[in-house]
């Protein structure tokens, strides 16, 4: 029985499914049913008599290809056996194996995994007589990544360093020689790495016309998913196999091309109609994910793009609140209001259906501290969790020793960065310090003069016990050169994280409170598999392909989104705009954009005014509802609305009448304390307690009569009976 796809698909999708001959470009807007369209077209091709063996489906993950083929098989009575589907690299590997005897791979070849490639790069390094280089020399992993970017972008190594790793420019000549040596060893031993597969396959198709024609004859129908993510060589491979008038369908969205740093070229999809004269262009604009107010704002973001395919996203879901634009007094109060909004949203949605998105991983650090302090579970996609970053642990280790001189892990982290001091020496020195063995300490200091300065720093901090920010400033004066020396590959990025740490430190009066909150961490799995009771924190790049009921976006100001580097080149600014579009279209029902009016400047030790993101300034005011934080901590609607308390304002913003009945969920006060936990349990009057094993901790909630949930620094969240606790007076 023929597939009645007209009942399952909208008119644009039907047109794409029925376009079987000649080149076709499908511009699939966010949430427009791209995968469904591909699946139905696969089934329709076979239903029309096309042999499955003549269909080639190229995707960016094997899982995507398998899912599409499986779904298409379900639509057909006789299945879909015979279709070739997979990634560009797996297809290239299979063809090189099949035709090795016709090319310069007669003696065979081996495809290296990453570990093998690193070993070969190490051999290239040794062949140059570099041997054991200084600690500040880039790691092999970083060098291999730079070489890969140079190849995929098809540009020289110098350009890659200038754009992405300028701090490594002094090593340009050495890195260039290592890249040449790496290539020479591969050729000498018949080795191919991941990137080589595509370029060698291209040479095969270019130099052997018989192979090229054979593949064109076999694969008469080629479909490419996520075409906006292809790099230059992948686009050329498609053209070589399809020919100018081949039956090739490219599916993608130019507005979601956000992987230029990996080598993806948005020009591939933009130039498709020129590369394939007479190509049919079909636009999928009906969205099945978001409400119309959210799509109106996403359309506003795209409206100002310089190079794009015009499209206008629309949906049958016309109802819903306008996106909320919140202008906060500072980046610190931004986190407080975001916490309040999350608490309010949880009255409507499960915690895992709410996501907080940001441009760079460090921008969520302040929020992570607040979430951990309050015992709110979260998962982070992209970037490193604040508490897991090595440079953050390093800096905090010095402060931990000021509070607790017997903190062995902190001593080990501090000693690790003293040249020549190994684990055995560190252990002996620690025991000597704690036991008062002055002779051993003096002997060790004589062997390692750097220890004298280190002990001087720590003794000075212990004697004065300065405020956290002052202490951190002194630590950074010592640790800054160590950061550059020991993390040469990416120390500029790590410096941004330390600046955010200083921003957090400025809010604390003493070291004990500061360190206590930073060590209140939930030991949760941080995989990308969504937990059903955890808030999602994600970089926007890691959020692509995902969706949530409610989305909050942080730091929509110049130098943070778009980044300072992106403001320098038009093509980079265009990609940042597409990134903004991707972020907005992750939201199904609710979207909030945060624009702090001041941002803490590490070098000046104060907050400075900032400008909203140009993407915000370009938006029509009618596309969002603007709220401003006032000096009393409440919010007021822009345009002269009466000031309201934060709770009342957020009630209105998410579309619920103020004072309505609420289900139990956490609420956060301006200072960040919890009034109810994530299970809706009533809180006791907050205070502190002491446990015989875990030490002093902060009470979060009364889990049941005589039972408390407590944050213990270094141990995380524990639920303990009152009879095992010594409660402190909370008054």
What is the rounded CA–CA span in Å between residue 618 and residue 19? 37
Give 521's DSSP letter.
-
Annotated binding-site members: 28-35
Please measure the distance between the N-terminal and C-terminal CA atoms of the chain and give it in whole angstroms: 76
**CA-to-CA distance for 263 and 275, rounded, in angstroms?**
20
On the 0-12 / 13-18 / 19+ scale of CB atoms within 10 A, 3 is middle
Q: Which of 46, 33, 34, 35 is nearest to 3 (CA)?
A: 46
* Tokens representing residue 237 in the block: 């491979």
Q: Are 227 and 58 in contact (CB under 8 A)?
A: no
Residues placed in the known binding site for ATP: 28-35
Count CA atoms closer than 13 A to 552's CA, side-chain side: 30
Q: Say if residues 561 and 359 touch (Cβ distance below 8 Å).
A: yes
Q: What is the 3-state secondary structure (H, E, C) of 578-637?
A: HHHHHHHCCEEEEEEEEEECEEEECCCCEEEECCECHHHHHCCHHHCEEEEECCCCCEEE
| Alpha helices (runs of H) in 304-449, residue ranges in sequence order | 331-345, 365-374, 390-403, 408-416, 423-435, 438-447
| Tokens of residue 470, six digits | 């002052």
Tell me how far apart the alpha carbons of residues 341 and 411 are, in angstroms, rounded to a whole number: 40
DSSP secondary structure string, 636-703?
Answer: EETTTPPPB-HHHHHHHHTT--TT----S---B-TTS-BSB-TT-PBPPPP-EEEETTTEEEEEEEEE
With vertex at residue 687, the alpha carbon angle to CA 686 and CA 688, rounded to the nearest 5 degrees, is 145
In Å, what is the CA distance from 275 to each residue of 202, 558, 607?
17, 37, 51
- Token pair listed for 328: 């906060």
Q: Is residue 18 helix, strand or coil?
A: helix
CB-side neighbour CA atoms (13 Å) of 385: 22
């Amino acid at each position: 029985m023929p597939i009645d796809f007209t009942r399952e698909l909208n008119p644009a999708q039907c047109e794409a499914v029925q376009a079987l001959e000649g080149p076709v470009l499908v511009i699939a807007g966010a949430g427009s049913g791209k995968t469904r369209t591909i699946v139905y077209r696969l089934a329709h091709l076979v239903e029309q008599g096309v042999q499955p063996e003549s269909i080639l489906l190229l995707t960016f993950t094997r899982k995507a290809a398998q899912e599409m083929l499986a779904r298409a098989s379900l639509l057909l009575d006789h299945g879909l056996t015979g279709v070739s589907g997979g990634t560009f690299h797996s297809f290239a590997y299979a063809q090189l194996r099949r035709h090795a005897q016709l090319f310069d791979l007669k003696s065979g070849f081996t495809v290296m995994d990453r570990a093998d490639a690193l070993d070969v790069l190490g051999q290239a390094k040794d062949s140059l007589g570099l041997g054991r280089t200084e600690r500040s020399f880039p790691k092999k992993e970083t060098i291999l990544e730079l070489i890969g970017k140079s190849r995929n972008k098809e540009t020289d190594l110098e350009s890659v360093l200038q754009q992405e790793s300028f701090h490594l420019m002094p090593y340009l000549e050495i890195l260039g020689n290592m890249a040449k040596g790496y290539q020479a060893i591969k050729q000498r031993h018949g080795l191919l790495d991941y990137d080589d597969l595509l370029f060698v396959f291209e040479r095969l198709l270019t130099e052997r016309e018989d192979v090229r024609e054979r593949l064109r004859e076999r694969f008469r129908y080629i479909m490419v998913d996520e075409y906006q993510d292809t790099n230059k060589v992948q686009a050329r491979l498609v053209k070589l196999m399809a020919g100018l008038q081949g039956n090739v369908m490219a599916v993608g969205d130019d507005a979601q091309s956000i992987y230029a740093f990996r080598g993806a070229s948005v020009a591939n999809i933009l130039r498709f109609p020129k590369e394939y004269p007479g190509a049919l262009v079909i636009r999928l604009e009906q969205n099945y994910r978001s409400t119309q107010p959210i799509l109106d704002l996403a359309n506003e973001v795209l409206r100002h793009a310089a190079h794009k395919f015009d499209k206008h996203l629309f949906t049958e879901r016309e109802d819903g609140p306008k996106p909320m634009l919140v202008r906060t007094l500072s980046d610190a109060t931004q986190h407080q209001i975001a916490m309040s909004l999350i608490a309010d949203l949880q009255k409507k949605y499960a915690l895992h259906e709410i996501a907080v998105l940001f441009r760079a991983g460090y921008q969520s650090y302040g929020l992570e501290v607040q979430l951990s302090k309050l015992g709110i579970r979260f998962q982070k996609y992209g970037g490193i969790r604040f508490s897991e970053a090595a440079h953050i642990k390093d800096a905090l280790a010095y402060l931990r020793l000021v509070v607790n001189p017997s903190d062995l892990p902190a001593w080990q982290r501090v000693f690790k960065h003293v040249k020549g001091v190994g684990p055995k020496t560190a252990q002996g020195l620690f025991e000597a310090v704690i036991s008062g063995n002055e002779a051993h300490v003096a002997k060790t200091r004589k062997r390692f003069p750097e220890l004298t300065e280190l002990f001087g720093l720590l003794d000075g901090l212990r004697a004065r016990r300065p405020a956290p920010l002052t202490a951190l400033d002194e630590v950074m004066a010592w640790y800054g050169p160590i950061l550059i020396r020991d993390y040469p590959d990416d120390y500029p990025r790590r410096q941004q994280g330390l600046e955010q740490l200083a921003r957090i430190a400025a809010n604390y009066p003493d070291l004990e409170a500061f360190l206590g909150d930073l060590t209140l961490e939930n030991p949760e799995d941080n995989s990308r598999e969504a937990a059903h009771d955890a808030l999602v924190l994600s970089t926007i790049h890691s959020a692509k392909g995902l969706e949530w009921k409610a989305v909050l976006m942080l730091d929509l100001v110049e130098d943070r989104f778009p980044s300072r580097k992106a403001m320098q080149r038009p093509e980079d600014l265009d990609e940042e705009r597409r990134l903004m579009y991707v972020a907005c279209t992750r939201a199904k029902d609710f979207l909030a954009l945060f624009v702090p009016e001041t941002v803490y400047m590490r070098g000046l030790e104060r907050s400075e005014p900032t400008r909203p993101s140009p993407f915000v300034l370009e938006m029509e005011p009618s596309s969002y509802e603007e709220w401003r934080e006032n000096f009393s901590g409440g919010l007021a609607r822009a345009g002269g609305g009466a000031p309201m308390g934060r709770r009342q304002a957020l009630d209105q913003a998410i579309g619920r009448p103020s004072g309505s009945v609420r289900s139990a969920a956490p609420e956060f006060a301006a200072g960040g304390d919890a009034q109810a936990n994530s299970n809706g349990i009533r809180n006791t009057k907050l205070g502190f307690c002491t446990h015989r094993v875990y030490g002093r901790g902060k009470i979060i909630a009364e889990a049941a009569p005589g039972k408390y949930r407590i944050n213990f620094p270094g141990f995380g969240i524990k639920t303990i009976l009152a009879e095992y606790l010594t409660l402190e007076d909370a008054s």
